[in-house]
Structure 1
Amino acid sequence: MRKPRSAKKRARPVNRLAEVGEVAIRLRVSALEGGGYVATSPDLPGLVAEGRSVTEAVEIAQGLGRKLLESCIEHGDPLPPAFARTRPEPRDFIVPVAIGR
């Protein structure tokens, strides 16, 4: 016989990062002595991705970064400090402006 489920569900913290859809992370890509490349990120501790080319290492790092952040959000773990800011940092943009005559 199954136990009845409790009406209370485990509350998940609301996280604005989960609503953003995309974030930028910094990657450092280094050549390995035996060939290939390794990508790490100062923004995501634990992210280490190895590939045969720079492109492959970066692509693997992107997927791994997504999985690391999704895991934090899903399990209610604290986000790495680079993503835990409550206010976004100001950014500078260069945009074209059309001037009509």
Structure 2
Amino acid sequence: MSEYMLSITIRKLDEGGYLATSDTIQGLIAQGRTISETMEIAQDVARKLIESYLEHGDHLPEHLVSSTNLIKNVKIPVTVTV
């Protein structure tokens, strides 16, 4: 099992919800009601796309980084209800 780090962009849609895309993997488009849901869907789409690359013997996109020994400062959304 391998793990990869992937940059995505999430935009708020005017009609509601969020849209995730990636400059690293063409074809990665995910839409959800919340940022969290959109990220989860984007992970699933990315996994399926990467698996397809590997199953067909295609080269992975060059900016796709294996997470082996990779530690990085990241920002995550945290929703708090008080």
Shorter-chain TM-score tier: 0.7 to 0.9
Q: What's the C-alpha RMSD, in Å, of the aligned pairs?
A: 2.4
Decide which of 49, 62, 71 is 1:81's aligned counterpart. 62
The question of 1:42 aligning with 2:23 is answered: yes
Cα displacement (A) at 1:73: 0.3
Task: Provide the C-alpha distance between the structure 1 equivalents of 2:12 and 2:61, rounded to a whole number of angstroms.
Answer: 26
Identity %: 42
For residues 85-96 of structure 1, what are the structure 2 equivalents within 5 Å? none
**Partner of 1:81: helix, strand, or coil?**
coil
| Structure 1 residue runs without a partner (length 5+) | 1-18, 86-90, 95-101
Pick 1 or 2: higher relative contact order, CA cutoff 8 A, min separation 6.
Answer: 2
4+ aligned runs moved over 2 Å, structure 1: 91-94
Task: Provide the C-alpha distance between the structure 1 equivalents of 2:72 and 2:41, rounded to a whole number of angstroms.
Answer: 28
Task: Provide the C-alpha distance between the structure 1 equivalents of 2:51 and 2:37, rounded to a whole number of angstroms.
Answer: 21
Decide which of 63, 68, 84 is 2:44's aligned counterpart. 63
| Structure 2 residue runs without a partner (length 5+) | 74-82
TM-score of the pair, normalised by structure 1: 0.61
The question of 1:72 aligning with 2:59 is answered: no
Aligned length: 70
